[in-house]
A and B are shown apart, each in its own frame.
Chain A
Amino acid sequence: MNELVTTPNVQDAISLITVLRACAILIAGWVAAKLSARFFKRACAFKLSAHHLSLFGRLIFYAIFALFFATAIHQLGFKISVLLGAAGILTVALGFASQTSASNLISGLFLLGEKPFEVGDVLRVDGDTGEVISIDLLSVKLRTPDNLYVRIPNELLIKSKFINLTKFPLRRIDLVVGVAYREDLSQVIRLLLELVNSEPRCMEEPQPFCTVTSFGSSSVDLQLSVWGRRELFRELKSDLMIAIKSTFDTHGIEIPFPHLSLYSGSQTDPLPIFQVGEKSQHSASSDNGIPH
């Protein structure tokens, strides 16, 4: 084994000067790799995204450093071809052990080509929502709105569904508005659309619309849909709900609480409720056998 790996007299081959030379080559390689990566990032700053710059910068660094590393190894007297052969056997063993990492790495390359999101986008993955702060070789890092750090392996992103909330510049706000059954639905729809038309942040095109969606157990449900700029989504949704409540209060339109009607049987009237102190009503009720 020693005969295959080194020259016949190891002690003669590896001298202090050789070691120093190898170290100098390594240091020079590190500096050259660093400078090359930095130069590449500056030259392509306006042509590539932050993600691509980071990834290609790292690839350039590792490629150049690997060349200098091989040269340093050669300086020390080791035969590269034999080392590579041994490394091949080691690679197979490591490959089995690092299947997941390799899968993440390859998934990362696919994500790089497909570009479904970029740094700064907001993703919803498997119940976690957050802003993408970095896209790395093995994983993507998110920062949640409450400032938590989430690490998502690239493999998970490739094989499962995720939602990019900031891909497109517009978003539609869907509000479910429930009104009492006694209300005039045409008037309600007219008021809602007037409210939306008077709000400058609601887009004229695509046009807003309001439709009746269901007869609920306590209310008639309508859907009011408006389009707005993505960055105004949360604030506009809240302001619209406040404005709807205010408009309904002004026009006496009821937003009902969930309520339940009790019947003692299908053939009887609803159970009456009396306040304590209404004696005349109570005596009439007690004659009928109704408890109070």
Chain B
Amino acid sequence: MASLSRADVEHVAHLARLGLTEAELARLEGQLNHILDQYAILTALDTEHIPPTAQTIAVENILRDDAAAGSLSVEQALSNAPERIGDHFVVPAIIGSEGGA
């Protein structure tokens, strides 16, 4: 199976939106490769005709009545927001500053 280069580790960290220090990246490169080595055991198994299992209990189509029920109030939902303005969460701007609020 594959092994991870330092550039791969940086790429995966970016995909995962984890800001890592140089020391963390260096340590993770070694540790992740050591863990990936453990995965190699799986290549010995022929699974071509085995279906995947995503969940284990034989339960399907759990439906509820189409009835209105209570939920969190706006105040409760916002109560842990690091930043809010009125009844809104403040999110980081994702479009240019000229389009920002």
A binds B: no
Question: Which residues of A line the B interface, CB within 8 A?
Answer: none
